[in-house]
Amino acid sequence: MKQKKYWGILLLSGCLTLSMATLAWTEDGEGEGHERHERGFLHQAADIGPITNKAYKTECSACHFAYPAGFLPERSWVKIMNNLDDHFGENAELNDKTRLVITDYLRTHAADRLPNRFSRSMLRSVDAGATPLRISETSYFRHKHREIPARMVTGNPKVGSFSNCLSCHSGADNGSFDEHSVTIPGFRQWED
């Protein structure tokens, strides 16, 4: 009888531990974008993290915000990097060594390679056969920005486009896209 009770308690403890871990990693949509979420005994980082590749940051930031690699699947980054001679209407060709270094970084940090919350959410919003080239055209991005009137972004000369992340997400350079700290230039802090 003592042995059955012991195994029952051990099984119950294991189930509780597994339940708490599951709660800690469950995505319920609440508070997504916070720097850290506390659920159960575990903590989960919700931010995507800063760009860590110097070549990528230097080369891509010379013309636009260096988007986190975890916002697109690997196949998208490969297609973008293989077509730099016509990079959204511009010639962004790089020497082979730099292109390979950046491509390798983007591939290893792509949405289908990183287990963070943003990457998983972004990846789920992309059809399996699709190769999106613009983050702003993914279902996840459109869903997260659906309540923001176009006049506040595309009609706003201080922003101009939904692809201009830094204008509203002050922590974007550090990989933080916390929706609770969004401030749209010329307007107010954004609240859902």
pLDDT in tens, 17-61: 666 655 544 443 433 333 333 333 333 345 677 899 999 999 999
Any idea where the domains of the chain sit in the sequence?
54-181
For position 192, what pLDDT does the model report?
59
Residue whose pair of structure tokens reads 């950046």 in the numeric block? 102
For the record, the structure tokens of 2 come out as 């003592």
% pLDDT > 70, the chain? 78
Contact 38, 57 (CB under 8 A): no
Measured CA distances, 146 to 34, 76, 149, 153, 166 (Å) = 19, 23, 8, 12, 18
pLDDT at residue 110 in the model: 94
CA distance 39 to 133: 34
What pLDDT is stored for residue 48 in this prediction?
79
CA-wise closest residue to 121 among 57, 66, 71, 171: 71
Low-confidence ranges of the chain (pLDDT < 50): 24-45
The backbone region for 70, taken as left when phi is positive above 0, alpha when psi lies in -120 to 50, beta otherwise, is alpha
